[in-house]
């Protein structure tokens, strides 16, 4: 395999500052840009995550953002203890307002490269559209492997680099439409130009699966999600 080009985050992009800037309008921008399909992706991924975990699993949501994933975990598994970790404090602050009263969700301002949790403490971990933003991807994935016990499961949702060009999604939707929508809703065009550029500079599904194996996950499956494999679900254990 040829040497990989570093991702935008690995090249030093100010990802933390970007997410803190757009936090106030982040949810609104997501719903418009995805047409709500991101909700469907999370539900499917979290159902896979929680399968056979029992009634009271301990679950990490890495890059929890405004807590859509953590809240969905609590909805599907009301007895779950969820640790929602993100390095963008403004995102967490916005998300806390949405936590249902009975949900067991604790928020932690934490860096994915050095998580403040003991080894093997979680039964499972979920991460949606976070790992592409890690400045050291291998270190971040190694931390996931460290904090989830050996029999546990990790499910990751991500926009991985397509192996073949997609004219509509890559050259029109991602490159032109999304930055325009993002600027209209949040007033921050640069943040939403980062999205297509970061996808183009990230790993493909086979490259990402290989890295997961390198950090210690023995079983790694990737599943392209509707429509047309725009997002990918990675299940590892």
> Is 175 within a domain?
no
pLDDT tens by residue, 49-84: 999 999 999 999 999 999 999 999 999 999 999 999
28 class by beta-carbon count within 10 Å (0-12 exposed, 13-18 middle, 19+ buried): exposed
Residue at 138 is within a domain: yes
The answer to whether residue 216 sits within a structural domain is yes
Give domain status of residue 156, yes or no: yes
DSSP conformation class of 10: T
Structural domain includes residue 121 = yes
Separation of alpha carbons 223 and 220, rounded Å: 10
Residues of the chain with confidence (pLDDT) below 50 = 1-2
CA distances from 212 to 48, 60, 89, 162, 199 (A): 18, 17, 27, 18, 18
Domain count, the chain: 1
CATH of residue 229: 3.40.50.150
Is position 2 within any domain?
no
Residue 127: predicted pLDDT: 98
Is residue 193 included in any domain, yes or no? no
Task: Decide if 27 is inside a domain.
Answer: no
Domain of residue 64: give its range: 35-160+203-236
């Amino acid at each position: 395999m040829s040497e990989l080009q570093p991702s935008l985050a690995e090249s030093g992009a100010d990802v933390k500052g970007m997410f803190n800037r757009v936090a106030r309008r982040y949810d609104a921008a997501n719903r418009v840009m995805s047409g709500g399909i991101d909700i469907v992706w999370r539900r499917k991924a979290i159902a896979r995550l929680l399968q056979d975990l029992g009634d009271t699993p301990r679950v990490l949501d890495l890059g929890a953002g405004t807590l859509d994933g953590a809240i969905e975990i609590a909805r599907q598994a009301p007895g779950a203890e969820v640790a929602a970790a993100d390095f963008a404090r403004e995102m967490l602050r916005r998300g806390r307002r949405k936590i249902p009263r009975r949900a067991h969700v604790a928020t932690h301002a934490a860096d994915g490269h050095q998580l403040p949790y003991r080894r093997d403490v979680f039964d499972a971990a979920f991460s949606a559209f976070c790992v592409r933003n890690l400045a050291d991807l291998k270190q971040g994935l190694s931390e996931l492997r460290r904090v989830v016990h050996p029999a546990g499961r990790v499910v990751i949702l991500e926009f991985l680099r397509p192996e073949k060009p997609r004219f509509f999604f890559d050259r029109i939707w991602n490159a032109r439409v999304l930055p325009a929508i993002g600027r209209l809703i949040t007033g921050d065009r640069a943040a939403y130009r980062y999205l297509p550029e970061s996808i183009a500079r990230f790993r493909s599904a086979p490259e990402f699966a290989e890295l997961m194996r390198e950090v210690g996950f023995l079983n790694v499956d990737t599943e392209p999600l509707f429509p047309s494999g725009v997002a990918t679900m990675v299940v590892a254990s």
